[in-house]
Amino acid sequence: MAEAHQAVAFQFTITPEGIDLQLSYQALNQIYLSGVRSWKKRVSRMRNRVIKGVYPASPSSWLFVAIGILATMYMQSDPSMGLIAKIQQHLPLSLHVSLSAQGQTMVSALVFSTLLWLSLILALRFCLKLLLSYHQWMFEQHGRVSNTTKVWVTLLRLLSGRKPLLYSYQTSLPHLPVPAVRDTLTRYLDSVRPLLTDPEYKRMTNLADEFESSLGNRLQRYLKLKALWATNYVSDWWEEYIYLRGRGPIMVNSNYYGMDFLYVTPTSVQAARAGNTITALLLYRRKVNREELTPSRVPGTVIPLCAAQCERMFNTTRTPGVETDVLQHWQDSEFVAVYNRGRYYRLWVYRAGRLLSAREIEHQMQWILDDPSPPLPGEEKLGALTAGDRVPWAQIRKTHFSSGVNKRSLDIIEKAAFFVTLDDEAQGMKGDDPTGNLDRYAKSLLHGKCYDRWFDKSFSIVIYKNGKSGLNAEHSWADAPTVAHLWEYTLATDAFQLGYTEDGHCKGEVERSLPPPQRLSWEIPSEVQDQVVSSLTVARALADDVDCHVFPFRDFGKGRIKKLRVSPDAFIQISLQLAYFRDRGSFCLTYEASMTRLFREGRTETVRSCSNQSCAFVKALEAGEGPEQCKRLFRQASEKHQNLYRMAMTGAGIDRHLFCLYVVSKYLGVDSPFLKEVLSEPWRLSTSQTPVQQMELFDLKNHPDFVSLGGGFGPVADDGYGVSYIIVGEDMINFHVSSKHSCGETDSHRFGAQIAKALQEIMAVLSADTASCSKGPAQPQSKKLL
């Protein structure tokens, strides 16, 4: 819109009499208002930088320090012990000339007050970092809190008393520690013991010992050097080597999805749902830009989590490269990119510095839906380039999208706040086969038609014909909890704050002078069209191979599990071990994602959920051991799992440390048989819990049908399963299971049935004698302490 205004704001014609200049005051006024909005954002960012820079103090605290120093000096006392006098001696000559002696003393006192204030801020920040480095609270049982932890909680509350901004804690968060090589190797060998025979375990132990005595300590020295220099010794390498250097398709293999409400669709009007959804997302972006979001915390505590992943949530695109991709982030964008029936559009969401209302965005979306124009040659399936292999996409992009009309249109998509697809299909739980419909819904969000999503965008919103919605997120810039936080806010704001009229339209009025969305232009030569066909073939083969199964488990939820004094996550993970054993007849290396956001720029760590204790419980249950023996083994397995989770959260995991040692070995050009074998082990069971972080936004008591389905991802191993689950309320757990049709040994529906059966049987075992169950280990302190 701003470009159009600039084009018509100044019109001139050259005549024999001279130049006839014509001004459009309406256009100039809109340019002026856009500029005002831009300057307001600059001022807001500058203000937030000041507030963050002095946290945990406040800017106003400088005034108290200055008044205190001046008052003390007025009482003929020198709190600076001579420093003010020395500052006065070193004032610029111009001040000595222009100011009286009393004025010079006043300036010197203010300079001293400022230095003292800054020193106090650094001291407070150092104390806060020390407090946030204490993690022993996580390992204490509920009701047995040590005096040290009680004092720690009090001090932490005192230093965290003022309302922080989104990024206020960033500089106070501790750095991720580098574990000792011996500790990591010991934990690794313990994790693989149930998966190896005695000769295999002895061989792996010898490899580990050889690595520790020969190469391990050398690599560790380089890693500790990086930890001293870098903010986080893992995150940059993790982003580059795990995500950006992957040359295969990111669709299915990397991207993941999030779903709409399970039972409810707030409106069946597609354009209206798009209007509210886009508005809610832009309101969230405004909160991020202004840092008005409350910092995320460990559930039930005041302990902050790193918010760095929010920085690249919007206006971000993964651009392909021959050797490695690059994440590009732009400061701000006033438009979104829209795809509908093979056509691409730019939709301006601001007009004269004002965010369009949801009703106005609905009006624009309806214009797109009603647009009868056909796709340009080669336009319809252009998005398949982002779904196929990365190298051909990088080469085509460099050759045919680096100049001219194609570059301009591609820039619009890549610089957009996010991508929106107005899908021409209906999805969700409907008809006589609700579970089958959920499976199709999951596949649609995961890969769609392989060309109607822009998989390189940080996230893409999908609005279906019947008003159902969902998202597809690129993985390199952030992990699922960050996107889940965004999506929770979007769903809640859409349904409970923005709302709809009785006939299903967005509320508000429409400014009829709004210009329509801009249709993007392309010039797609035959070479590009051939590559689109090739990429689409690769993507469709991958998409057709994915077997998705989504099912809500309603027999019980965390409410009943917690009554047994068992961690719901441990309960589910042990159930997954039992289900996998029954499905495949063996145990496997299991990946559960845990966060390391207690540390600055932390991302994830792996919890190796298949332990000696969980395997012992599964074997005992399958062998028909007595209930008391099974309960005892389950309690041991649950406590072991909780301890593994705590260790991972506090920087004492296994896999990120070994991964970084492997990267260092590659930089040094040395080979390690131990590291090579460890990094090549397949994760045949990859699991992740989608956390519910903003339960206060959803009034499930009055609106019990507004429950989220969560989201899911594709299988990590060709012969394995991907399992995502979300614990909703007290009585429901939603599961997303994925596998590949090409593997004859896996079946997502069969495994889903095994999961449900395992949950029911373990609950039956633990519920056989509730009184004895109540004597088991307590839930983790992180849920109950603060």
Q: What integer pLDDT is reported at residue 34 of this predicted model?
A: 62
Q: What integer pLDDT is reported at residue 158 of this predicted model?
A: 87
> Is the residue at 378 inside a domain?
yes
Domain boundary, last residue among 518, 545, 572: 545
Residues 475 and 328 in one domain: yes
* Residue, of 101 and 600, whose pLDDT is higher: 600
Sequence-distant (≥ 6) Cβ neighbours of residue 455 within 8 angstroms = 250, 251, 255, 383, 386, 387, 472, 474
Residues 470 and 592 in one domain: no
What average pLDDT does the chain have? Answer: 89
Q: Determine which of 60-74, 326-340, 361-375, 558-572 has the lowest per-residue pLDDT on average.
A: 60-74
Q: Determine which of 81-90, 354-363, 711-720 has the lowest per-residue pLDDT on average.
A: 81-90
Residues in the chain: 786
Q: What integer pLDDT is reported at residue 293 of this predicted model?
A: 92
Q: What integer pLDDT is reported at residue 77 of this predicted model?
A: 81
The boundaries of the domain holding residue 288 are: 252-545
Residues 597 and 500 in one domain: no
Residues 327 and 424 in one domain: yes
* CA dist., res. 691 & res. 482, Å (int): 10
CA–CA distance from 688 to each of 190, 580, 590, 710, 717 (Å)? 22, 15, 11, 11, 15
> Is the residue at 197 inside a domain?
no
Q: What integer pLDDT is reported at residue 304 of this predicted model?
A: 93
> Is the residue at 155 inside a domain?
no
* Helix, strand, or coil (residue 335): strand
**CATH number of the domain that residue 761 is part of:** 3.30.559.10
> Is the residue at 119 inside a domain?
yes
* Helix, strand, or coil (residue 472): strand
In the structure, what pLDDT confidence band is assigned to residue 17 with cuts at 50, 70 and 90?
low
**CATH number of the domain that residue 514 is part of:** 3.30.559.70
Residues 470 and 598 in one domain: no
Q: What integer pLDDT is reported at residue 253 of this predicted model?
A: 96
* Residue, of 451 and 33, whose pLDDT is higher: 451
Inter-residue contact 653 to 688 (CB < 8 Å): no
Q: What are phi and psi of 408, to 5 degrees?
A: -60, -45
Inter-residue contact 747 to 547 (CB < 8 Å): yes
Query: Using one digit for the tens of pLDDT, what is the confidence trace for 164-196?
Result: 889 999 999 999 999 999 999 999 999 999 999
- Under DSSP, the state recorded for 285 is H
* CA dist., res. 152 & res. 158, Å (int): 10
Inter-residue contact 609 to 626 (CB < 8 Å): no
Mean pLDDT of 141-168: 85
Sequence-distant (≥ 6) Cβ neighbours of residue 592 within 8 angstroms = 573, 606, 607, 608, 609, 645, 687, 688, 689
Longest dimension (CA), the chain: 106
In the structure, what pLDDT confidence band is assigned to residue 74 with cuts at 50, 70 and 90?
confident
Q: What integer pLDDT is reported at residue 71 of this predicted model?
A: 85
Residues 603 and 484 in one domain: no
Report whether pLDDT(613) > 80: yes
Residues 561 and 430 in one domain: no
Mean pLDDT of 423-431: 83
Domain boundary, last residue among 519, 545, 571: 545
> Is the residue at 334 inside a domain?
yes
* CA dist., res. 50 & res. 116, Å (int): 17
Q: CA end-to-end span of the chain, whole Å? A: 50
Please state, for a pLDDT cut of 70, what percent of the chain lies above it.
Answer: 91
* Residue, of 39 and 15, whose pLDDT is higher: 39
* CA dist., res. 37 & res. 355, Å (int): 10
Token pair belonging to 678: 């460890």
* CA dist., res. 515 & res. 728, Å (int): 43
b/e map 112-127, b = 16+ CB within 10 Å:
bbeebbeeebeebbeb
In the structure, what pLDDT confidence band is assigned to residue 106 with cuts at 50, 70 and 90?
confident
In the structure, what pLDDT confidence band is assigned to residue 273 with cuts at 50, 70 and 90?
very high
Q: What integer pLDDT is reported at residue 511 of this predicted model?
A: 86
* CA dist., res. 299 & res. 315, Å (int): 29
Mean pLDDT of 91-117: 82
Inter-residue contact 722 to 738 (CB < 8 Å): yes
Q: What integer pLDDT is reported at residue 729 of this predicted model?
A: 84
Residues 745 and 602 in one domain: yes
* Residue, of 300 and 421, whose pLDDT is higher: 421
Residues 13 and 31 in one domain: yes
> Is the residue at 244 inside a domain?
no
Residues 37 and 69 in one domain: no
Domain boundary, last residue among 54, 80, 99: 54
Query: Using one digit for the tens of pLDDT, what is the confidence trace for 307-352?
Result: 999 999 999 999 999 999 999 999 889 999 999 999 999 999 998 8
Inter-residue contact 561 to 730 (CB < 8 Å): no
Residues 627 and 484 in one domain: no
Mean pLDDT of 724-746: 95
> Is the residue at 660 inside a domain?
no
Percent helix / strand / coil, the chain, rounded to 5: 50, 15, 35
Per the structure, the count of domains in the chain is 4
Query: Using one digit for the tens of pLDDT, what is the confidence trace for 449-461?
Result: 999 999 999 999 9
Mean pLDDT of 577-592: 97
Report whether pLDDT(447) > 90: yes
Inter-residue contact 470 to 452 (CB < 8 Å): no
Q: Which of 31-40, 140-149, 655-664, 686-695 has the highest mean pLDDT?
A: 655-664
Enzyme catalytic residues: 475
Inter-residue contact 58 to 121 (CB < 8 Å): no
- What angle in degrees, to the nearest 10, is found between the helix axes of 612-622 and 627-649? 160
- What angle in degrees, to the nearest 10, is found between the helix axes of 748-767 and 627-649? 110
Residues 571 and 497 in one domain: no
Q: What integer pLDDT is reported at residue 90 of this predicted model?
A: 79
Query: Using one digit for the tens of pLDDT, what is the confidence trace for 347-406?
Result: 999 988 889 999 999 999 999 999 999 999 999 999 999 999 999 999 999 999 999 999
Q: What integer pLDDT is reported at residue 391 of this predicted model?
A: 97
* CA dist., res. 725 & res. 530, Å (int): 40
* Residue, of 140 and 776, whose pLDDT is higher: 140
> Is the residue at 236 inside a domain?
no
Which residues on neighbouring strands pair with residue 319, listed in sequence order?
A: 326
Mean pLDDT of 514-520: 95
